[in-house]
Chain A
Amino acid sequence: MSADAHAAGHAAGHHEEGWFQKYFWSTDHKMIGMQYMFTGMVMALIGGFTVYVFRMQLAFPGISVPGYGRVTASDYNALVTTHGSVMIFWVAMPVLIAALGNFLIPLMIGCDDMVFPRLNRLSYQLFLLSAIILLASFFVQGGAFGGAWTAYPPLSAKPQYNLTPHGASLWLLAVALEFVAFLLGGINFVTTVMNSRAPGMKMFDVPIVVWMIVIASIVFMASVGPLVAGAVMLLFDQNFGTGFFDPAKGGDPVLWQHLFWFFGHPEVYVVLLPAVGIVAEVITTFARKKLFGYKTVLYTAIGTGVLSFFVWAHHQFIAGIDPRMANIFSVTTLLISIPVAEMMFVYIATLYGGTIRMKVPMLWALAFIGEFLLGGVTGIFLGASGSDIYFHDTYFVLAHFHYTFFPIAFISVFSAVTYWFPKMFGRMMNETFGKIHFWGTVIPFNFIFIPLFILGVRGDHRRIYDYQHFPDLMKPGMQDLRVLATLSLVTLIAFQFVFLANFFYSLFWGPKASANPWQSNTLEWVAASPPPHGNFPEGLPTVYRGPYEYNHPDRPEEDYWPQNVAPTGGQ
């Protein structure tokens, strides 16, 4: 194809990029993907620090937390707000969607970059700006926003309630800017996948993770609009004296709740779908087996995305919404568990009969399936409005969403990072330290949140900074459970340093990786490790088959069959 030859010549004549150009001003999707990833890692440290501080306060009320000091009530509010906001908006979303999407999509569909590279760069810069604005909010008068990541007015609108007026507005600006960055990025992803697939790559030959990121981007795009509108309105309420959410002026605080959750619920599926996609890639590679139901998974994911728009008010069952609405939303919420469970069952069926290679990425993928299932079934109790009346705002909710969010934001991400590290950096991570990190994360994780389930059932309410004020919640054993959760958290955090050490050591001194160390089928493993600018300098690949042809009878010489290998004779 003449265009490809033109590109090859162009790439060869490409001048050497300066340091600034290469690391800060790059339009290369791989570099931008890594920028998102490293930013997300830094923000994860901040999110982790906040939880360490406030859980220490909960376990040992009144102590001076090492590395922080005493935690006042308003400190506590700011810490939990920061923890939630950072983990969702500045860790889960950038890493799962922006980092992996950017890095993987052009490689997996066999092209040389995203369709709009400069828009891509702009998206990252807006995102970085949003992170900086959020961090800046820690240092203004009053400190970081303390109105919870859900920012319900009037708490979030009136400074006399939240005590963090500047932080509140900066938080809103940061979130709004982050939304814009992801809208722009999403358009890039969707357009690229729709238009720039390799010749021969039909719709059902696209790797599942790519579809998942595209569906997630579309769901995000369709759900965030009302919240952008709401954020503008809240910003005006905070700073210009309007009363959009103030009943005394003719507004309605419940409107914010609806606007927020109309986005907030699809949002959790926005982060879930890429995680599920990662697991699909990893288990097929390490079970040497075709995905049990490609179309099932794809259509179920689309169905989940669609259904996710019809369940939002289950976050508001006791907020005073019309009970007839609560009935409807209960039904839809319980229904949505079906497609998600379906996907998990397809994965289990994929594993069955496979030749399992227990490498570190596979361990994480298996852990995802198990832990996420546990989290998901606890959601049933919350989706039924009757039981939710009791459970709402207790630690039961919190443990439920951490049992789902932690696998999404961390377990699947560790699977992805350990799996694609060789492709990204051209080196292998250490397996032994990887396994140590794995067990040191997954076991403590359960010991954090199972106690919190129990505490929730026993009545622990969320967003309380010191349970000693509540005699009902200081019954024997309860404080012990809080301490157990906190100590498990500290253990979990400690083991993350094993990962960081492994990551950075391997980055510079790890054994060099071949192009396809895992013997996988998808196109990113055709490119060199790491891929050069332009990805496929010898020519963009053509695709001949689906992504999961492992142990195919027509290819006895290998137990895998890369997508770009021509059918007549090997290469």
Chain B
Amino acid sequence: MAAHRPIATTRSATGIPTGRLAVWWVIASEIVIFGGVLGSYLMHRLGHPEWEHQSVHTNTWIGAFNTLVLLTSSLFAVLAHNAAELKNGKKAANFLMLTCLGALTFMVVKGFEWTHEIQSGFTMQSNMFWSFYYTAAGLHGLHVLAGAIIMLFIAADARKNQELQRVEAIGIYWHFVDIVWVFLFPLLYIAK
């Protein structure tokens, strides 16, 4: 396998390491993707007051619990970064695993939540509110899943004290995913 790290990757004319620089660009493009979804939802929601008859059925407590889970997973992610800065790869890896555990919890809870809602007749087709609900939260969920998977790989390297700089990068991505949820939560669960 001929892959080796090119010299290009080690240069840093901006002073920002390449991995972290790239993650910020990823976030920039994700802002517009989620912005598109959430913006479209917002415009429709403001034009359709009758959706409140549907949105009343989202479970604020489950949403709040999931918010707590994501906030805590963000804490673990930044603690992983902290440990990596202290060159403690094993500790960083453990914190990353806790973050992934948070992701898993989030997905499982959502699984139960959606199952219950679908069984109650609130499907993606039953009303436009639910179409947006599942699409927006689903898109977010995919990003949680993808982030968690990548995090597992980075944790494996970190445990061997390798590629520790990636811990920070995946952490930044994770915090972004958390922030998206921080806005989804009031939109779908509180000021609904």
Contact = CB atoms under 8 A, between A and B. Distances in A.
Interface of A: 3-4, 7, 10, 14-15, 17, 21, 27, 106, 111-118, 183, 186-188, 190-192, 194-197, 221-230, 232-233, 236, 240-244, 249-252, 255, 259, 540
A222 B36 contact: no
A118 B32 contact: no
Contacts of B21: 191, 194-195
A220 B14 CA distance: 22
Nearest to B51: A250
Given A222-B29, A226-B40, 20 more contacts: A3-B10, A7-B6, A116-B18, A117-B3, A186-B29, A191-B18, A194-B13, A195-B11, A195-B13, A221-B29, A226-B35, A229-B139, A233-B40, A242-B128, A242-B131, A244-B128, A244-B131, A249-B128, A255-B40, A259-B40
A259 B125 contact: no
A229 B33 contact: yes
B82 to A, nearest CB: 25
Interface string B23-51: 00110111111111101100110001001
Contacts of B7: 3-4, 7, 111-112, 196, 540
B86 interface: no
Contacts of A249: 128
B135 interface: yes
A258 to B, nearest CB: 9
B191 interface: no
24 contacts: A7-B6, A111-B11, A112-B8, A187-B26, A194-B13, A194-B21, A195-B11, A196-B7, A196-B8, A197-B13, A224-B33, A225-B29, A225-B31, A225-B33, A225-B34, A226-B32, A229-B36, A230-B40, A242-B124, A242-B125, A250-B44, A250-B128, A255-B43, A259-B40
Contacts of A183: 29
A70 B139 CA distance: 44
Interface of B: 2-4, 6-14, 16, 18, 21-22, 25-26, 28-37, 39-40, 43-44, 48, 51, 124-125, 127-128, 131-132, 135, 139
Given A3-B7, A196-B9, A540-B7, A191 B33 contact: no
A116 B9 contact: yes
B93 to A, nearest CB: 22
Given A112-B7, A229-B36, A240 B48 contact: no
Contacts of B6: 7, 111-115, 117
B15 to A, nearest CB: 9
Contact of B128 (A10, A227, A251): A251
A187 B6 CA distance: 17
A196 B44 contact: no
B192 to A, nearest CB: 16
B160 to A, nearest CB: 19
A17 B4 CA distance: 14
A241 B25 CA distance: 34
A243 B124 CA distance: 10
A467 to B, nearest CB: 38
Contacts of B31: 225
A227 B12 CA distance: 33
A251 B44 contact: yes
Contacts of A187: 22, 25-26, 29
